[in-house]
Amino acid sequence: MLKRDKDGAEAGVDGGTPTASIADVAAAAGVSRQTVSNVLNAPHRVREETRRRVEAAITALGYQPNRAAQALRAQTSRVIGIRIESIQIDSLTTVHDRFLHALAEAVQAIDHHLLVFAADDPDDEIGTYTRLHRTGAVDAFVLYGIDEDDVRPRQMLHLGAPFATFGRTGHDTDHLWVDVDDETGGAAVAQHLVARGHRRIGFVGWPEGSSVGDRRVAGLRGVLDKHDLLGECAGLDLRGQDEIANGVTLGGILLDRPAPPTAVVAASDTLAVGVVQAARARGLVVGRDLAVVGFDDTPTAGVFDLSSVRQPIEAVARSIVRALQPHLPAGGTPPQPETEPSTSEVFAGRLLAPTLVVRASSAAATPR
């Protein structure tokens, strides 16, 4: 069994060997207990030489701080909460899973933990945030899947809890957000296909009103307009839910047209896989007879040798944690600086550029 000493370190009982206390570390390093505490909780306040000496003593003595006691004294939970999305049947999208993993790593880098929970709907989600905030169980929150008219940020502002969002609404001047520049992604796809000689380019996307899907097609159309191709692409924009079956159906409709497109851009890899299946069912060879490009660069894209726009999910997670850190009760050590994708600062947020990954599905020139 273990008991805690007054310094928050663990000490053995029943014959166990006691571990080092914060006083032991201070004595070994020749500093005060407060300096040791600063090294653990606010290393930026300590000179580098002193910090290294204290860290060496911590390692040599095997000191293990009592995080629960530290959190209690600081009146912080050292926890960040996020709602997990429900599983979508017939969808290949793994962006949410990638984001959760990246966010957990970024949160851990500042000595916090990630709390995930399920909710039936947005009202239930906000209700859970409210309970967690008022009980002090969570220091801050991350909201996922923000759309144009999302009411959750306004509700969180009313609650008064620190939060940041992955995504933007139409009025993001008053809270922290990080998002991917989907319009730039759509433009990169269009430039890629036009450079390979395609003039009839179709789009299979989500129903209008999805801010992410609308931005992706807006970027595509912007480039087509610059090349005077909107007329040739007229009527080649079809929408449906993000399911493989819809990709098959919508892709088939485009390919059965008297003048079918030579390239199809899909708003997601899920829809793109459906388009690929529709093409194969008609005896077409993707990459030779038809170019197909998706979004999100899921593992499935690699399996299908599918060109796709990759979101910088890991950078999004790190940026969200950096944005939240000054608003956390305990602060923490920020993730190490590193090279990030190109960005532009917008209001209280940060916009990250995606990257087009070109594979065999769109690498060839337009079929003749």
pLDDT of residue 13: 38
| CA atoms of 147 and 145, how far apart (whole Å) | 6
Shared-domain flag, residues 86 and 53? no
| CA atoms of 367 and 360, how far apart (whole Å) | 14
Shared-domain flag, residues 298 and 215? yes
pLDDT of residue 294: 97
Q: What's the whole-number mean pLDDT along residues 256-263?
A: 96
Domain containing 135 equals 79-174+313-352
Shared-domain flag, residues 186 and 261? yes
- Domain membership flag for residue 368: no
Lowest model confidence (mean pLDDT) among 116-125, 191-200, 275-284: 116-125
Helix and strand totals (H; E) in the chain: 14, 15
**What's the chain's Rg over C-alpha atoms?**
26
Q: What's the whole-number mean pLDDT along residues 238-249?
A: 95
Phi/psi of residue 165, nearest 5 degrees: -120, 145
Q: Which residue has the higher pLDDT, 4 or 56?
A: 56
Tokens standing for residue 126: 């906000």
213 pLDDT band (50/70/90 cuts)? very high
Lowest model confidence (mean pLDDT) among 152-156, 210-214, 334-338: 334-338
Is the pLDDT at 118 greater than 80, yes or no?
Answer: yes
Contact 139, 112 (CB under 8 A): yes
Tokens standing for residue 182: 């989907």
pLDDT of residue 338: 45
Residues in CB range of 198: below 8 A, 6 or more apart: 261, 262, 263, 291, 366
Q: What's the whole-number mean pLDDT along residues 226-247?
A: 95
Shared-domain flag, residues 190 and 307? yes
**Looking at 35, 50, 73, which one is the last position of a domain?**
73
90 pLDDT band (50/70/90 cuts)? low
Residues above pLDDT 70, as percent of the chain: 83
Phi/psi of residue 166, nearest 5 degrees: -95, 100
CATH code where residue 161 lies:
3.40.50.2300
Shared-domain flag, residues 295 and 318? no
pLDDT in tens, 294-351: 999 999 899 999 999 999 999 999 999 999 998 888 544 444 444 444 444 434 689 9
Range with top average pLDDT, 126-140, 151-165, 257-271: 257-271
Q: What's the whole-number mean pLDDT along residues 349-361?
A: 95
| CA atoms of 128 and 198, how far apart (whole Å) | 50
Please state, in angstroms and as integers, the Cα–Cα distance from residue 203 to each residue in 29, 39, 218, 365, following that order. 65, 55, 11, 19
| CA atoms of 78 and 329, how far apart (whole Å) | 8
Instruction: Say how many domains are in the chain.
Output: 3
Q: Which residue has the higher pLDDT, 335 or 114?
A: 114
Shared-domain flag, residues 111 and 143? yes
Q: Given the DSSP bridges, would you call strands 10-12 and 2-4 parallel, antiparallel or unpaired? A: antiparallel
| CA atoms of 368 and 270, how far apart (whole Å) | 28
Give all strands (DSSP E) within the chain, no chain letters. 2-4, 10-12, 79-83, 113-117, 140-144, 163-166, 176-180, 201-205, 237-239, 263-266, 291-295, 307-310, 343-346, 349-352, 355-357
User: DSSP assignment, residue 160?
Assistant: T
Angle at 364 between CA 360 and CA 368, to 5 degrees: 140
**Looking at 15, 43, 73, which one is the last position of a domain?**
73
- Domain membership flag for residue 88: yes
Q: Which residue has the higher pLDDT, 331 or 244?
A: 244
**Looking at 73, 92, 117, which one is the last position of a domain?**
73
45 pLDDT band (50/70/90 cuts)? confident
145 pLDDT band (50/70/90 cuts)? confident
Shared-domain flag, residues 186 and 307? yes
Residues in CB range of 154: below 8 A, 6 or more apart: none
Q: What's the whole-number mean pLDDT along residues 101-123?
A: 92
Dihedral sign from CA coordinates of 275, 277, 280, 281? negative
Q: How many CA atoms lie within 13 A of 80 on its CB side?
A: 33
| CA atoms of 223 and 158, how far apart (whole Å) | 41
Is the pLDDT at 212 greater than 80, yes or no?
Answer: yes
| CA atoms of 141 and 160, how far apart (whole Å) | 11
Q: What's the whole-number mean pLDDT along residues 62-74?
A: 60
